[in-house]
Amino acid sequence: MKKFLTLPLAFLFCTSACLLSCGNKTSSSINPNGDSALALLMRDMHEDGLHTKQQLLNGGDIEVNVKYHELQTAEATEPEKVASQTYKSFATYYEATVQSLIESNDSNKAEAYQTMVDACMQCHEQVCPGPMRKIKRLYLSEAELASLDTK
């Protein structure tokens, strides 16, 4: 009788342990050395950029949901890069392009959006080239721009 009771209890224990260990993960990291606040912010900015692109294509209001103004204060993986005047200038410019996008009217939203993506790309060309392929996905394609012109 004990054998029959032991097997279900062992199964229950293993299943519970597996579920609890999976539930404790707060986020997945693509960086084996951990993620800095700036790296996480930039990933959030990319996701928000994709969302903004979709809002633009759907003709909806533009809503920026990321704390882009923390670009100059978030802890970086490589602090020496963000301490440079080059990075600070790009961050200030990016913040201005986001503000322009938010304040843009319907006739220039696409242009303001493309300018915002350009600001990302220009900074990454100079400071940290790794994410450039990912940033390129944020641009509106010719077909997408043409579809906006017909709305």
Q: pLDDT by residue (tens digit) across 85-98?
A: 999 999 999 999 99
What separation, in Å, do the N-terminal and C-terminal C-alpha atoms of the chain show? 73
3-state secondary structure of 83: coil
Q: What is the spatial distance between Cα 117 and Cα 124, in angstroms, rounded to a whole number?
A: 11
pLDDT for 150 equals 78
Q: Pick the more confident residue, 16 or 129.
A: 129
Tell me what pLDDT residue 6 has.
46
The stretch 103-116 carries a mean pLDDT of 94
Run of H or E including 102 = helix 85-103
Q: What is the CA radius of gyration of the chain?
A: 22
Quote the CA–CA distance of 66 and 133 in Å, as a whole number.
Answer: 21
Coil, strand or helix at 75: coil
**What integer is the mean pLDDT of 117-135?**
95
SS3 category, 18: helix
Domain boundaries, the chain: 34-149
pLDDT value for 33: 55
pTM: 0.76
- The predicted pLDDT at position 99 comes to 96
pLDDT tens digits for range 17-60: 333 333 333 445 566 556 899 999 999 999 999 999 999 999 98
Whole-number pLDDT of residue 31: 62
Q: Are 93 and 86 in contact (CB under 8 A)?
A: no
The overall average pLDDT reported for the chain is: 83
Residue 135 near residue 120, CB atoms below 8 Å: yes
